[in-house]
Chains A and B, each alone.
Chain A
Amino acid sequence: MSTAYTPPNPNKRRNVMIAALVGIVVVVAAILILVSSGDNNSGGVPAANAPLSGIKETKAMLEGIPQQGNALGKKNAPVTMIEYADYQCPFCKQYALGTMPVLINDYVRTGKLRMEFQPLQFIGPDSETAARAGTAAGQQNLEWNFTHLFYFNQGTERTGYVTDAFINKLYAGAGVNASKANAYRTTPAAAVPLAEAAAGAQKYGIDSTPSFVVGPTGGPYTKLEVDIGNADAFKSAFDALLK
């Protein structure tokens, strides 16, 4: 018994190829989408190529509010609160991401309060690098964008994560002109606000961060002793001054 030769069926062959194509494409695309969705930064030292967090939140929080150097809010706001903070300090991050947005929305955005940021550098060299970078962003009136984005992406203290690449990423995320800011942040002028912050901290007896002084704009200011997680405590202090 012999079997007649059957030539390969082109249609069958094409159907097999298309079925294989669809299967492979769907699986590979699904894997790519799964591994790229969400924040895959494991914390600690931010990876050199790790994506930035908090860009949208920072923009939303600060949009439309005037900035001038290290100050946020209208110049003629009746009350001013000065924050003394260290970029590496985890409690500063906790305040910045938890309580501060509420205060900005309720008091700064409404023109009642003006905030100033004073960077201290007691944790280590990264604090000074970050503070200088923040001051340089302040030259473009974007210090608050830079600082808030920094806290969103803060790494572990004293790990040397505040590199040029890290700062450049923050500048990009904050909309800062990186070449101008980088040229400025290593100059002696960039250190002046740091010295002023240190002098202010000494004046008000500040030995931990974040610490706050508050008062009518222009002074005198007094130290505010509050739980940094309690927005109502801050609000009570502002309301008392606004009466």
Chain B
Amino acid sequence: MLDRRLYRTAIALTVVGIAIAGYLTYVHYAGIQPACSTGGCETVQTSEWADVYGLPVAVLGLIGYISILGSLLVLRGDAQLFVSAALSLVGFLYSGYLTYQELFTIKAICQWCVGSAVILTLLAIVTLWRLLASGGAAGATEADNVS
């Protein structure tokens, strides 16, 4: 029961993450400014941390969220628990690093980036919780029976 709730929470968080990363990807390629109430979105999005070798971080985030969603929907058992937790934790650490750069180097806040960092933090907690709560038992998790 608990695993099913956590599984559904993880799916919901991932969908929100895809919406945020998708929006930032859209504004990047449309060449328009993102809606921004914090005033620092353009500064953050044009900073030297806004891409990885030409790949915008927004696109990287979108790929990450889609991968997490894919791992939750396609994989089963230990593979699902392990891959979703691994991807979420990588995203959590990387977004933590980017948030640090926002606060202390760029000194500008992008509400969308902070939102994504919060989503990844929650995803990391939920997916890790699922992994630890599973006790490493092989086979189906409760979520396997969610249709």
Q: Which residues of A contact B (CB under 8 A)?
A: 8, 10-18, 20-21, 24-26, 28-29, 32-33, 35-40, 47-53, 55-56, 164-165, 168-169, 172-173, 175, 178-179
A17:B31 contact, CB within 8 angstroms: no
B85:A21 contact, CB within 8 angstroms: yes
Report the bound CA distance from A26 to B97 in whole Å.
13
Kindly state whether residue B94 has any CB partner on chain A within 8 Å: yes
B89:A21 contact, CB within 8 angstroms: yes
Residues in B neighbouring A56, C-beta threshold 8 A: 43, 106-107
Residues in B neighbouring A17, C-beta threshold 8 A: 78, 81-82, 131, 136
Known: A10-B135, A17-B131, A55-B46. A168 touches B31 (CB 8 A): yes
Chain A interface main SS type: helix
Give the Cβ gap from A242 to chain B, nearest Cβ, in Å.
35
Kindly state whether residue B129 has any CB partner on chain A within 8 Å: no
Most B-side CB within 10 Å, residue of A32, A48, A50: A32
Which of the 9-residue segments B2-10, B11-19, B47-55 touches chain A?
B47-55
Which residue of chain A lies nearest to B134 when distances are taken between CB atoms in the complex?
A: A14
A51:B52 contact, CB within 8 angstroms: no
Residues in A neighbouring B132, C-beta threshold 8 A: 14, 18
Q: Which of A11, A35, A55 contacts B53 (CB 8 A)?
A: A35
Report the bound CA distance from A18 to B82 in whole Å.
8
Mark out the residues of chain B between 69 and 122 whose CB falls within 8 Å of any chain A CB in the assembled complex: 78, 81-82, 85-86, 89-90, 93-94, 97-98, 106-107
Give the number of chain B interface residues (Cβ < 8 Å).
38
Kindly state whether residue B56 has any CB partner on chain A within 8 Å: yes
A51:B49 contact, CB within 8 angstroms: yes
Kindly state whether residue B141 has any CB partner on chain A within 8 Å: no
Known: A51-B48, A52-B47, A56-B106. A21 touches B42 (CB 8 A): no
How many cross-chain pairs have Cβ atoms below 8 Å apart between A and B? 103
B47:A47 contact, CB within 8 angstroms: no
Residues in B neighbouring A33, C-beta threshold 8 A: 93-94, 97
Which residue of chain A lies nearest to B41 when distances are taken between CB atoms in the complex?
A: A172
A29:B93 contact, CB within 8 angstroms: yes
A55:B47 contact, CB within 8 angstroms: yes
Give the Cβ gap from A178 to chain B, nearest Cβ, in Å.
7
Give the Cβ gap from A39 to chain B, nearest Cβ, in Å.
5
A32:B94 contact, CB within 8 angstroms: yes
A172:B53 contact, CB within 8 angstroms: no
B93:A13 contact, CB within 8 angstroms: no
Mark out the residues of chain B between 20 and 50 whose CB falls within 8 Å of any chain A CB in the assembled complex: 31-33, 42-43, 45-50
Q: Closest 9 interchain pairs by CB?
A: A14-B136, A29-B93, A13-B136, A168-B31, A52-B46, A25-B89, A172-B42, A51-B48, A49-B54
Kindly state whether residue B57 has any CB partner on chain A within 8 Å: yes
B131:A21 contact, CB within 8 angstroms: yes
Give the Cβ gap from B111 to chain A, nearest Cβ, in Å.
16
Known: A33-B97, A35-B53, A40-B53. A25 touches B136 (CB 8 A): no
Give the Cβ gap from A240 to chain B, nearest Cβ, in Å.
39
A49:B55 contact, CB within 8 angstroms: yes
Q: Which of A28, A32, A50, A55 contacts B51 (CB 8 A)?
A: A50
